[in-house]
Structures are given as structure tokens and as C-alpha cells.
A = this chain, B = another copy of it.
Amino acid sequence: MVVTIIGLGLMGGSMAIDLKKRDFAHQIIGVDKDKINGNAALNIGFVDELCDLESAVKRAELIVLAIPVDAAIKVLPQVLDLIDTQVVTDMCSTKGSLLDIVTDHPKRKQYVAAHPMAGTEFSGPWAAISGLFDGKASILCDTENSDIRAVAKIRRLFEELNMRITFMNSKDHDVHAAYVSHISHISSFALALTVLEKEKNEKHIFNLASGGFGSTVRLAKSSADMWSPIFTQNKENVLTVLDTYIEKLNEFRSHIQDDDTEKLADLIKESNKIKRVL
């Protein structure tokens, strides 16, 4: 199968590597508006050639958008305009706004909205790795609006990546993604900003980081281009969960202020219940 991947960063690149390795794609065509990224992808070898959007779409059987959601909102309708019988999917972390934009597109049925939940704190084609998606969840959204054969093809794609496939409607997806994933990133970005502002001595950060800072701040290395549009595209849900988060922090604040170790211990024990899940 010829697969076109639009966006040759961490996500698109990691997908390309395994689709090729596992014989799902015999040829991968890459599209990237950034020439440095494109050339890197070609040199690393996870795409066979670079191409402009139009012919890349026309020559492929399956097209994957692996670009930030604000860019996908522009590019997805263009891709649907260009296709004949091809199937299109994407990898964006918010789904509602993207699906809204193509609701009435005549080729809507050939698009299957997907959110493969995988990543690292690194970005760009140099960050692409084999096995990134193995064992993780991929969420397919609003599949009742897609052609059944298109859904089957995209299922096979993510199964080839060894992903667990879950179905959800896009509104639910955006709520749950905000509740679990998006808030984690905000929490981590804000933590990095706080520590960088308060702790002027970087040697101390390094020395003291073994106290757990390293893992909570890992996500703060994530890409600004990817994350800033996610927060605004999923604004309502993100604000709701962010308000709850700030509320919980204020509960900690007031119990610390009151030297109330008992209520603090209760809060911590309550939070320990996350062990049930993770």
C-alpha cells in the first residue's frame, strides 16, 4: 500500500517507521511544509520521497495527517477536496472542532477521526522511534459517520501499530482528553515555569530533582506548536478541569496554612486512590 504522511515529526515519523517495518506500507510519501524536517525525514529514511500535497494525496491509498490541530483544520478539507477513493485519518488530540469543519464535506465518509494516545516529550523527525505506539490506546471517533470499509482500513492501520482500539464520540473524547491528558500538560508546563522562576540556581534544580521533580516536569518539554492550539480548540473542557485543579491546589494551600496535617493526610490518601487505576 502507498501511504502519504502529512507532517514528519515525532508522531508521523514514528508511524512511518513501523508501517514500513511491519510491511503495512510498501511506499511512504512524506509531505512537510518545513524543508529541514522533510530533508531530515528523507535522510533518516522513514519516508521514500517528499512530494507536494496534491500529488502526494493523489498517489496514495491512505493519507495520515500528523500535524497540529490548528493546521489540520486547514489541511483536512483540502485533502478531502483532492481524494477520489482514498481513506484519510489524523492523529490530533482534540476532535470536535476538526470534525465540525468537515461535517458537510461530500467526502466526509472517507475520513476516520483518530487519536492515537502516544508520544514522548521530544519532537521533530529526529525524535521518531519504532515502537512508540505499541500497547497504547487509539481512539476512533464518530465512526458511524465514516464508511465501514474506511473504518476497517484505519483499524488495521492502528492494529499494525499494536494499539488497543477504543471507540468514542468526539464530544466525549474531548471531555475525557481534557480531564486526563490536557490537564497533565498544563500542570507540568506551569510547574516548570514555577521552578525556573523561583529557583535561580540550576545546580540546585539538578541536585534536588531526584525528589520527583523529574517525572512531574517531563511533559514540560513538549512542543509549543502542538500544545497551544490543543488548549484553545478544547477550551471549554480544559477550563472546566483547570478550575477544578486550581480548586484542589487551594484546598492544599488552606490546610497547609492552618497546619492541619490531618486534613492534608486525608487529601493525600484520597489522591492515593489513583493506584486503583494506574
Contact = CB atoms under 8 A, between A and B. Distances in A.
Interface stretch (A21-29, A74-82, A151-159, A269-277): A269-277
A190 B139 contact: no
Given A197-B244, A199-B179, A261-B232, A277 B205 contact: yes
The size class of the interface chain A forms with chain B is 35 or more
B190 A221 contact: no
A259 interface: yes
B208 A185 contact: no
A1 interface: no
Nearest to A166: B207
A20 interface: no
Contacts of A110: none
A176 B199 contact: yes
A264 interface: yes
A261 B229 contact: yes
Contact of A252 (B179, B186, B214, B265): B186
A59 interface: no
A193 interface: yes
B246 A242 contact: no
Interface stretch (A38-46, A98-106, A140-148, A233-241): A233-241
B227 A181 contact: no
Interface of A: 70, 93, 117-119, 136-137, 139, 164, 166, 176-177, 179-181, 183-199, 201-202, 204-225, 227-229, 231-232, 235, 238-246, 248-253, 256-257, 259-262, 264-278
Please provide the 9 A-B residue pairs with the shortest distance between their CB atoms, ordered closest to farther.
A181-B211, A224-B268, A228-B264, A180-B208, A192-B271, A190-B248, A192-B274, A228-B265, A137-B207
